[in-house]
Structure 1
Amino acid sequence: MFKKNNQIKDLNQQEISTLIGLGFTITGELKGKAVIRIDGTVIGNVNVEGGIVLGEKGMIKGDIQTGSAIIYGTVNGNVKTQNLEIKKTGKVNGDIKTDTLEIELGAQYNGKLEMHQSSKTEDKVAAKV
């Protein structure tokens, strides 16, 4: 459960369809299907199916729901995702619900953690029995 996931690696290599640059502040809810990179500030919830890369100077003040997330910046809100990676510069202040989690040395996390296996993993285990 705490091992590096290939989906996280793939997120770093996927095409970024939306970029919120450094110095920009967006207020309101963000919704989408592709991958977004945030280097600025978002004040509101972020619901993105493809994935989120939060840059080192990026900040989200709201809840996140996504397939995969890589956090280099700061999140002040809850995170619900299948795959989460918090880098050494990352900070999460809120509860996390995830299938897989990787936290680098130096990262900061304050909140409750709920981990569960994805249904795909459970199906594979059940099929072997």
Structure 2
Amino acid sequence: MFGKSKSTVAPLSTSSEKFDTVIGRHAEVHGSLRLQESVRIDGKVVGNIEAPQDATILVMIGPNGEVHGDVLASRIVVAGKVAGNIHALERVELLASALVQGDIKYTSMAVEHGAKLLGLMLQVDSPDQATRPNMDAQEAIRKAQASGVNR
């Protein structure tokens, strides 16, 4: 009763996802990645990462991982650094150690306390809107003003 209190805070990503592709902690990749399966990035990627829109692919950026480019995938989990825009067709998760310098388009989002975002978060109604190039911050602001959200 008066003993140590147990923390009920669980990490967002408790997935037992199997990664067939891993970019190791000491690896550095320059160029675009076109994915056909889920990938875990513990090293550095300089270039865009893109998964097919009709595939359920996870991009996991580990605590030591860095991406300098845009990331487009069904599900994106960030524990490291991203300098670029994120387009999550289903869900994006920012863990406490995450630093994102760019805009995030998402359908569903979870953010742990301590995550840092230097950019905009744009929720889209459907996954195909997440990849529309003309869905930018100005369009989102106009949409919010038209619906009476901005008073």
Under TM normalisation by the shorter chain, which class is it? 0.7 to 0.9
Structure 2 unpaired stretches of 5+: 1-11, 128-151
Aligned residue for 1:72?
79
1:16-95 pair list within 5 angstroms: 16-49=19-52, 50-81=57-88, 82-95=90-103
What residue identity is the alignment partner of 2:24?
G
Please tell me whether the aligned partners of residues 93 and 111 of structure 2 are also in contact (alpha carbons under 8 angstroms).
yes
Q: In the alignment, does 2:125 pair up with 1:117?
A: yes
Identity across aligned pairs (percent)? 28
Aligned residue for 1:105?
113
Closer/same/farther in 2, CA of residues 34 and 43 from structure 1, 3 Å limit: same
- How many residues align structurally? 111
What residue identity is the alignment partner of 1:95?
D
What residue identity is the alignment partner of 1:105?
H
Residues in 1 aligned to 2:30 and 2:37: alpha-carbon distance in whole angstroms: 20
Please tell me whether the aligned partners of residues 40 and 60 of structure 2 are also in contact (alpha carbons under 8 angstroms).
yes
Residues in 1 aligned to 2:98 and 2:121: alpha-carbon distance in whole angstroms: 16
Q: How many angstroms does 1:83 deviate by?
A: 0.4
Residues in 2 aligned to 1:63 and 1:70: alpha-carbon distance in whole angstroms: 14
Larger radius of gyration: 2
Residues in 2 aligned to 1:75 and 1:35: alpha-carbon distance in whole angstroms: 17
Residues in 1 aligned to 2:50 and 2:22: alpha-carbon distance in whole angstroms: 15
Higher-helix-fraction structure: 1
Given the two structures, how large is their TM-score scaled by the length of structure 1? Answer: 0.81
Deviations 1:49-104 (A, max 9, x none): 41101000000000000000110000000000120000000111001100011110
Please tell me whether the aligned partners of residues 13 and 77 of structure 2 are also in contact (alpha carbons under 8 angstroms).
no
Given the two structures, how large is their TM-score scaled by the length of structure 2? Answer: 0.69
Residues in 1 aligned to 2:39 and 2:79: alpha-carbon distance in whole angstroms: 14
Pick 1 or 2: higher relative contact order, CA cutoff 8 A, min separation 6: 1
